[in-house]
Amino acid sequence: MDASRFIARRLSARADRGQEQDRLVRVSGRIAWISVALSIAVMVIAVAVVGGFKAEIRAKATGFMGSAVLCRPGQGPLNEQYPFNGTLSYLDSLRALPEVTSVSPVAYRSGMIRHEGEIGGAWFKGVDSLYDFSFFADALSEGTLPDYSGRISPDVLLSARLAAQLGLAVGDTLNAYFVRDELKARNFRVCGLFDAQLEEIDNTFILTDLRHIRRLSGWAPEEVSALEVRIRPGADIEAAVDHLTDVEFRLATDDDAPLFIHSVKKIYPHLFDWLAVLDLNVVMILALMMIVAGFNMISSLLILLFRKISMIGVLKSLGMRDGALTRVFLIRSARVVGKGLLWGDLVALALCLIQKFGHVFTLDPANYFVKYVPIQLDWGAFLLLNLLSAVVILAVLSLSAVFIARVSPARTLRAA
């Protein structure tokens, strides 16, 4: 058996069985693995929370507006004056991209809404029967989703917050007025209420039948304000936008309207800027926790080295090289680090699962866009974080070789 491994195992066995006679060594060892456990627990929880926030905010932003939007150059997605023919010659090629899940026509029209003396402004977003309502199904708080598959429907879907401001409930009539060249009045029926927990959406948008918007605006049956593109969860939005742009550049004909592709990151920049700040905070937390864990581990190791200096002198006098001696203490330290990682992971995973399914810690949606602390467990990131932490801590502990190299067998044996 390798001598370094044998000696390290004996030292660790004595510590595990409580046979270590030096109280300071025992206490420092406990502090070391507890420090590693707390550090890895904080890091795992921080990564899971930020991952949860990123997933939730991205789902909210893309759920309402799509991951990318095709619209007229010089116009934003909320274009109500310059429509284009949505039956593009390359539409099937866009839908065939592996990351694309759907391409949906939408039309917008601004209007005034009134109910029982309360007046407000809103954007009416027209969608068809093939529109992906999964986001609104998850956010639905009352009523039902609209059905636009048959005759033109008077049903609209609006936020619970906007409904409360106007004193509306499911089943009520919503009076709307649209002004451009002339005043047009329409009555709609509130079929459902949603809670997106995004003020920009909750206070502003109302979902209605696409055919209503076309009629109000005097558009042809194929004309739209924009085409919303949804990509599969986890796919890179910017890479998808590049692929969409490439398809348009290669396949667009003279009969197709020139279009510009907006990423949802440009439509809602404040949301993604906030997520970028969270990423920076996580990097700082990871660095700080690794420093704390590494500092406590090297303190424990130095205490052990000082207390075992006589043993180091004896082994050196018997011919053991500095590298072999360094491996003895690194192997023992690796066991301490491993114990800390194991307990830290168990505690972190338990807390994450409790929060994920129990929603113990709540938040103010007005400030954080979600009702509770979101959790997303990325097992790849989880394993990478553990591996990186172990490598960094052990790399710091390898500095013990400097101390061992300076130990003189003659002096230590004379002192003993």
Q: What does the pLDDT look like over 333-369, one tens digit per residue?
A: 778 888 888 999 999 999 999 999 988 888 877 777 7
More confident residue, 23 or 221: 221
pLDDT of residue 204: 83
Contacts of 299 (CB under 8 A, 6+ apart): 28, 32
Q: How far is CA 93 from the centre of its chain?
A: 30
pLDDT of residue 19: 47
CA angle 61, 150, 168 (to 5 degrees): 55
Nearest-10 crossing angle of helices 3-16, 322-358: 50
Model confidence pLDDT, tens digit, residues 394-403: 887 777 666 6
Contacts of 370 (CB under 8 A, 6+ apart): 53, 56, 57, 197, 363
pLDDT at position 160 over 90: no
Provide, rounded to the nearest whole percent, the portion of the chain with pLDDT above 90. 24
pTM of the model: 0.75
Report the pLDDT averaged over residues 79-108: 91
Report the C-alpha gap between 90 and 252 in whole angstroms. Answer: 6
Report the pLDDT averaged over residues 99-124: 86
Question: With left for phi above 0 and alpha for psi between -120 and 50, is residue 18 left, alpha or beta?
Answer: left
Report the C-alpha gap between 321 and 319 in whole angstroms. Answer: 6
For all residues of the chain together, what is the average pLDDT? Answer: 82
Residue 226: closest CA among 93, 84, 97, 109: 84
pLDDT of residue 237: 87
User: Which structure tokens are listed for 216?
Assistant: 């109000």
pLDDT at position 100 over 70: yes
Report the pLDDT averaged over residues 309-319: 66
Residue 358: closest CA among 348, 373, 346: 373
Neighbours of 157 (CB within 10 A): 24
